[in-house]
A and B are shown apart, each in its own frame.
Chain A
Amino acid sequence: MSAPNSAYPDTPEAQPEKPKRHEWPLWEIFIRGQHGMSHRHVGSLHAADAEMAIKNARDVYTRRNEGVSIWAVQASHIAASSPSHKGPLYEPSESKVYRHPTFFDIPDEVGAM
């Protein structure tokens, strides 16, 4: 979760000889809103375990009726693509305009399609 080089020159992270701190792990929180949408990432929080993560998520992220369901995922379990792979991952789709329905001209006489 932490950046490769500590931004904080005088922190233990930047001084590897000091022992790592013992914090509650970080959880990423996903909430399903009222209207049948899929769960959406809303933010993160710290909690000792999954049960507490869900309780805290309720207090931090649903104080105004924002959701009907909560997922909590420990942040260290999330695999993420790297920004440097942006080109190889997404450029191939840029040339495939035929994947969009508007690529094809359908005569008006045919009606809605």
Chain B
Amino acid sequence: MYAQMVKSTGQGVKSLDDMEPQERAFQERIDAGDKIEPKDWMPDGYRKTLIRQIGQHGHSEIVGQLPEGNWITRAPTLERKAILLAKVQDEAGHGLYLYCAAETLGVSRDELTEDLLSGKMKYSSIFNYPTLTWADMGAVGWLVDGAAIMNQVPLQRTSYGPYARAMVRICKEESFHQRQGYDIMMKMARGTPAQKRMAQDALNRFWYPSLMMFGPSDKDSVHSAQSMAWKIKMNTNDELRQKFVDQTVPQAEYLGLTVPDETLQWNEGKGGYDFAEPDWSEFFDVIKGNGPCNRERLAARNKAWDDGKWVRDGLLAHAEKRASKKVAAE
């Protein structure tokens, strides 16, 4: 997902009887549906895993601005341009909500940023694919934001209060993103033959990378089991991927587009589609830094950070100078 393959403690989930009293009380609060707040006691593993997960999620929102920012100046109409600007601005906002949630766990904003820029922390693999045509803006909104919603809606009930609250805000805005994407796809799919070809091409290129967003199957993963016990992960990757496919295939049919999977078939028995797995070796390669745009994305973030340094420093120096003058005058 926006946070893929987040590692937790690496140990199996402890039973309540194996826990020290403090940890047991903590787990019982989670089991009872209580929210954990920043100043509450929490196991070290819970804190660290959440920092990784929320940080990765926030980084994905921030880096996720780049593929779409690519088309702001070339949007086909002024209205499309204004809409895309608003969408990209929302992504920045989502990144900020998430960074603030992570900061309540004791990591600073600059630490998070520097770990992104150095490549130590990851962001979603999906944003390492290029956006080649305007139809890609449609495919990103429809498929990428659609996949994100699948994951984010259940996370509104996650056990960590600040994360859950950030998710509530984000989900309110995400629905606009997906609908604006589908709106672009409808326009393209019903346009000239060339436009329809562009829409089909965008679906062809984004289908499997979107399925990869959920991460490889984690039904046997100890990390995943621990995160689910802590309620910082609400569903397995396979559950969410299945839900996404079941929801998206009819939407593609409505557009008159073909999902690029010859094995795709409705399975009456399970009440869902059977579909082909993405190429997981490609996924691991992208995660490692070898996707089509990894270097470009990190270079863009590093340049923005370096170029902005004098502004950050200058504004802070100005604020401190004014504060000290105010103190002197009192």
Query: Which residues does A use to contact B, with CB under 8 Å?
Result: 1-3, 5-8, 11-13, 21-24, 26, 43-46, 48-49, 52, 59-60, 63-64, 80, 82-83
Contacts and interface: CB of A to CB of B under 8 A. Distances in A.
B259 interface: no
A76 to B, nearest CB: 13
B109 A23 contact: yes
**Interface SS majority for chain A:** loop
22 contacts: A3-B38, A3-B105, A5-B44, A6-B106, A6-B107, A7-B44, A7-B48, A7-B105, A8-B107, A8-B111, A13-B106, A13-B111, A23-B108, A24-B312, A43-B169, A46-B109, A49-B318, A52-B319, A59-B89, A60-B93, A63-B89, A83-B41
Nearest to B46: A7
Interface string B165-183: 1100100010000000000
B66 interface: no
A64 to B, nearest CB: 8
Contacts of B323: 49
A48 B39 contact: no
B316 interface: yes
B37 interface: yes
Contacts of B89: 59, 63
Contacts of A83: 37, 39-41
Contact of A11 (B111, B312, B322): B111
B90 A63 contact: yes
Interface string B183-211: 00000000000000000000000000000
